[in-house]
Amino acid sequence: MEWAGAGHGPALLSGASGELAAWRSATLAEERSAARRPADPAANWSGHWWSAPVHSRLAATTRALPGLGAVGLALVEDGPGAAKARCQPVRPRPAATVCEITGPDDWAQLAARYPLDVTRSRRHDWWRVTGWTGTWLIPDYAAVAADYDAIHLTVLGYLTTPGRDLPAGDARTMLAGWDPDTTYWLTDCLAPAGPATRWEQLDDHPVTWIRAADG
C-alpha cells in the first residue's frame, strides 16, 4: 500500500537485504549520535519512538476485505494524513516463513532472540510511557531475516502488546508504531497478484474508503 504524498515512494518487492542493511546502519548511527543526549530519562528530550521498521521501504502488507483494498487503509496507528492511497495485491511464495506476533510473549521472545540495543535513542520517550530506566531492545530485523521471511502483528497482538515494558532477558522491549494486521517482509518473496487499485477517503472518515473512479 502506498499513501499519496508520503514522499518515500512505493514499497520494494525486491532488494530487501539491502534495505535491511540500510535500516540497521541508520539505527546504529542514531544510537551513536544519541550518546550526546542526557542520561537522565526524565530530561526534556525526545527521540525515536518506533520499534517497527517504519522508516524503510520494506514491503508492508495487510489483508484485503470485501469493499476495502487493504485493512491498512483503516487500521492505522499514526497515519500520514493522506486521503488517497494505492493498493497493490501481492502473493508470497508458498514456502514463506512468517513469525506471528499474537501477544506480548511473542514480541518479547523475538527481541530477546535477536537483540538490538536502542537504549539511547528510545530512553526518554519510552521511560515516559513505562517508567523503565534500564536497557531497551528491539529485534534486529536484519538478523531475523536469516530465519523468517516476514513478521506479522495480528490484531489481537496489537490490542495486547504495544506500550508495555516487556522483559527481554535482563533488558526490556516495547512494541511501538506497528499497525494492526501489518506484515513486514524481510526477504524477496512477494510477487504482484493483480493490478493495483486506487482508493480515496470519504469525508475524512477514518474507516470509510471508496475505490477511486480511475482505480
C-alpha cell at 180: 494492526
Average pLDDT, the chain: 89
74: which 3 cell numbers? 483503516
In this prediction, residue 88 has a pLDDT band, given cuts at 50, 70 and 90, of confident
Q: What is the pLDDT of residues 157-175, one digit of tens each?
A: 999 999 999 999 999 999 9
Q: Are strands 171-173 and 136-139 parallel, antiparallel or unpaired?
A: parallel
Q: What is the pLDDT of residues 95-127, one digit of tens each?
A: 999 999 999 999 999 999 999 999 999 999 999
Instruction: Evaluate if residue 147 carries a pLDDT over 80.
Output: yes
Exposure class string for 45-70: b at 16+ Cβ within 10 A, else e: eebbbbbbbbebbbbbbbeeeeebbb
Question: What does the pLDDT read at residue 13?
Answer: 87
Is this prediction's pTM over 0.75? Answer: yes
Give the integer Cα–Cα distance in Å for 88 and 90. Answer: 6
The residue ranges of every structural domain in the chain are 2-35+48-89+96-211
Residue 9 has pLDDT above 60, yes or no: no
| pLDDT (0 to 100) of residue 102 | 98
Asked whether the predicted pLDDT for residue 210 surpasses 80, the reply is no
Confidence of residue 206 (pLDDT cuts 50, 70, 90): low
Q: What percent of the chain has pLDDT over 70?
A: 90
Residue located via cell numbers 494486521? 181
Query: Hey, is 189 helix, strand or coil?
Result: coil
The answer on pLDDT for 192 being more than 60 is yes
Q: Is the pLDDT of residue 82 over 90?
A: no
Q: For the chain, how many helices (H) and strands (E)? A: 5, 14
